[in-house]
């Protein structure tokens, strides 16, 4: 049962990550390959403050969000003007920088050893109840994040961000400071990643640098592409499907005897690759995304 | 420079990798007039246009708008002061509907600010209703009304050009800057656009039109600048410019 809880908790945390990334990439067109850096900042901030300095959970989580936002703000100001591919490279570089910092600044992060004994929320209720309540809390906060993203997407701000994605120069020509809006959404997405990182740390109760590899970023991208970037429920559906794949291939070897664990691990990446290729071919906007419209072809005679 | 001009560009210089595109050009725009900027391909028209809108930074020279120097002001700030441009190739927000495209252009939206976008529901709803009404009037004026709910990427090319104009008008321009408003537009839509432009002038708006189609622009312009090879060749009323044999030579390539 507790394994199932963990799968659901991870799916929910990935859904939260995908929602934050969706605000950046799906809505605004900001390609952030360093997304994991803000997850790591959130996780380590909350772990260090609660374990090292005895902070209660809620202020520690707020600090995790605040620090992720505070770090992303100057980074966004410096880099957001870069076009898509360049921004992708710079953000990927930034996430490596954060990874190296965490690995080497042992006085703060305990380096490769990691931080153990991170408190679970609701610990006072006993181990079983605290797990269930923590799971509910994670789901509730994911729902709240969905609501936040929905409000942004449906507001005039969301309309403006979609316009920026479609044509930034044209938005500037209408008198809007596009850079400040892109930085804003970069910071909001990073804050969501920071919260997801903190929730992850307190669920799993032990964090170390290798948990925050670029795989986290790419899994989030996979979830978003699976579910459909730009759609509201896409990130949630995508995260659920991704978790089914990643965790299903852990359980499956018990039942499928002709494959060993290594073959299974290899197979799951082949399957994810195949699914992505099929999806991009047949449903380029994701499972929940809009079907591509048939544009009127020039050679077709309209009645 | 006469005191009454809305905008003056003085001695504008611009080079791209060693080639001088603008060689000290000066023009001024009178309020409530349509000024045309014409010239053969590669004369530097679009560069001068973009120096004025702020999308290209001049190497030297000065731009004064409403008595205020704006030479180094960012493009979006100039747009807020009322210098609003359209693009030669339509830059519609393809995924957005025609109406949404126009709504994006409305200034000072509460719902675009954070965090008020999340909770100021009443204020947003009232402002959206007012902006929708204005957008509706513009669509009516330009004949886009029938396609208001269509995704703008599906519009015919000529209507995209009209949408470009509608969006610029929604941003409340004092000086409307049009980069080849007739390029890629069927003749019928073209004459409609020209008619709209004279109507806007008659309401007191100032326009600068860069155009290739001489015949059309001569009909509506009050003042014409002829740019050849990065230099001002002639300036005057359409009749004066048309009679100028240097202009005829530049255009006929004799």
pLDDT in tens, B104-142: 999 999 999 999 999 999 999 999 999 999 999 999 999
pLDDT at A16 over 70: yes
Residues of B in contact with A172 (CB under 8 A): 55, 74-76, 79
Q: Which two tokens stand for residue B196?
A: 């709209």
Determine, for residues B117 and A151 on separate chains, whether the beta-carbon distance falls below 8 Å. yes
DSSP string, B49-89: HHHHHTSS--SEEEEEETTEE-TT--HHHHHHTTEEEE-SS
Determine, for residues A172 and B79 on separate chains, whether the beta-carbon distance falls below 8 Å. yes
The per-residue pLDDT for range B35-81, each reduced to its tens digit, is 999 998 889 999 999 999 999 999 999 999 999 999 999 999 999 99
Residues of A in contact with B171 (CB under 8 A): 174-175
- What whole-number distance in Å separates Cα of residue A133 and Cα of residue A143? 15
Burial (CB count within 10 angstroms: exposed 0-12, middle 13-18, buried 19+), residue A163: buried
Asked whether this complex has an ipTM greater than 0.90, the answer is yes
Closest alpha carbon to B48 in B24, B19, B78, B74: B24
Which strand (E) or helix (H) includes residue A215? helix A214-227
Determine, for residues A159 and B94 on separate chains, whether the beta-carbon distance falls below 8 Å. no
Question: Chain B: nearest CA to A79, how far in angstroms?
Answer: 18
Determine, for residues A166 and B104 on separate chains, whether the beta-carbon distance falls below 8 Å. no
The CATH 3.40.50.300 portion of chain B extends over 7-92+157-252
The per-residue pLDDT for range A44-77, each reduced to its tens digit, is 999 999 999 999 999 999 999 999 999 999 999 9
Residue A127 phi, psi (nearest 5): -60, -45
Question: Chain B: nearest CA to A121, how far in angstroms?
Answer: 28
Residue B208 phi, psi (nearest 5): -120, 125
A164: closest chain B residue by CA: B93
Question: Chain B: nearest CA to A103, how far in angstroms?
Answer: 36
Return the pLDDT at A229.
Answer: 83
Question: Chain B: nearest CA to A252, how far in angstroms?
Answer: 42
* Superfamily of domain covering B7-92+157-252: P-loop containing nucleotide triphosphate hydrolases (3.40.50.300)
pTM of the model: 0.91
pLDDT grade for A226, boundaries at 50, 70 and 90 = confident
Q: Given CB atoms, is A256 within the 8 Å cutoff of chain B?
A: no
Q: Is the CB of residue A224 less than 8 Å from the CB of residue A20? A: no
A172: closest chain B residue by CA: B76
């Amino acid at each position: 049962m507790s394994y199932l809880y963990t799968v659901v908790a991870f799916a929910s945390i990935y859904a939260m990550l995908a929602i934050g990334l969706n605000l950046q990439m799906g809505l605004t067109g900001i390609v952030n390959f360093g997304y994991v850096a803000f997850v790591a900042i959130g996780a380590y901030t909350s772990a260090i403050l609660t374990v090292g300095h005895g902070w209660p959970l809620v202020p520690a989580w707020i600090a995790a969000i605040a620090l992720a936002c505070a770090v992303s703000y100057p980074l966004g100001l410096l880099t957001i003007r870069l076009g898509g591919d360049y921004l992708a490279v710079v953000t990927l570089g930034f996430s490596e920088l954060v990874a190296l910092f965490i690995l080497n600044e042992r006085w703060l992060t305990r380096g490769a050893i990691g931080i153990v004994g991170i408190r679970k929320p609701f610990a006072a209720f006993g181990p079983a109840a605290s797990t269930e309540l923590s799971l509910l809390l994670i789901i509730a906060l994911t729902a709240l994040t969905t609501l936040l993203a929905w409000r942004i997407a449906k507001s005039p701000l969301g309309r403006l961000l979609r316009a920026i994605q479609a044509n930034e120069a044209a938005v500037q020509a209408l008198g809007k400071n596009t850079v400040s809006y892109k930085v804003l959404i970069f910071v909001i997405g990073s804050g969501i990643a920071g919260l997801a990182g903190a929730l992850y740390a307190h669920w799993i109760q032990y964090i170390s640098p290798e948990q925050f590899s670029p795989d986290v970023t790419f899994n989030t991208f996979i979830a978003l592409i699976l579910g459909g970037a730009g759609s509201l429920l896409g990130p949630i559906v995508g995260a659920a499907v991704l978790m089914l794949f990643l965790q299903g291939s852990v359980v499956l070897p018990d039942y499928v005897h002709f494959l060993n664990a290594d073959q299974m691990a290899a197979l799951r990446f082949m399957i994810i690759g195949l699914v992505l290729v099929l999806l991009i071919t047949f449903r380029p906007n994701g499972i929940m995304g809009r079907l591509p419209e048939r544009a009127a072809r020039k050679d077709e005679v309209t009645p | 420079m006469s005191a009454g001009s809305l905008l003056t560009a003085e001695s504008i210089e611009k080079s791209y990798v060693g080639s001088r595109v603008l060689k000290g050009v000066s023009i001024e725009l009178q309020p409530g007039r349509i000024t045309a900027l014409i010239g053969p391909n590669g004369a530097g028209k679009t560069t001068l246009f973009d120096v004025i809108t702020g999308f290209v930074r001049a190497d030297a020279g000065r731009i004064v708008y409403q008595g205020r120097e704006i030479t180094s002001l960012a493009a979006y700030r100039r747009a807020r002061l009322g210098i609003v441009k359209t693009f030669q190739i339509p830059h519609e927000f393809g995924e957005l509907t025609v109406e949404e495209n126009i709504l994006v252009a409305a200034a000072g939206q509460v719902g675009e600010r954070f965090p008020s976008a999340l909770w100021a529901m009443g204020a947003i709803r009232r402002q959206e209703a007012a902006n929708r009404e204005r957008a509706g009037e513009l669509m009516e004026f330009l004949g886009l009304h029938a396609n208001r709910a269509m995704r703008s990427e599906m519009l015919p090319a000529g209507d995209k050009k009209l949408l470009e104009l509608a969006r610029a008008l929604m941003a409340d321009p004092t000086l409307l800057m049009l980069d080849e408003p007739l390029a890629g537009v069927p003749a019928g839509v073209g004459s409609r656009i020209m008619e709209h432009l004279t109507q806007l002038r008659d309401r007191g708006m100032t326009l600068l039109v860069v155009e290739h189609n001489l015949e059309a622009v001569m009909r509506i312009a009050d003042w014409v600048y002829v740019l050849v090879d990065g230099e001002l060749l002639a300036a005057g009323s359409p009749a004066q410019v048309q009679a100028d044999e240097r202009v005829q030579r530049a255009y006929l390539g004799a």
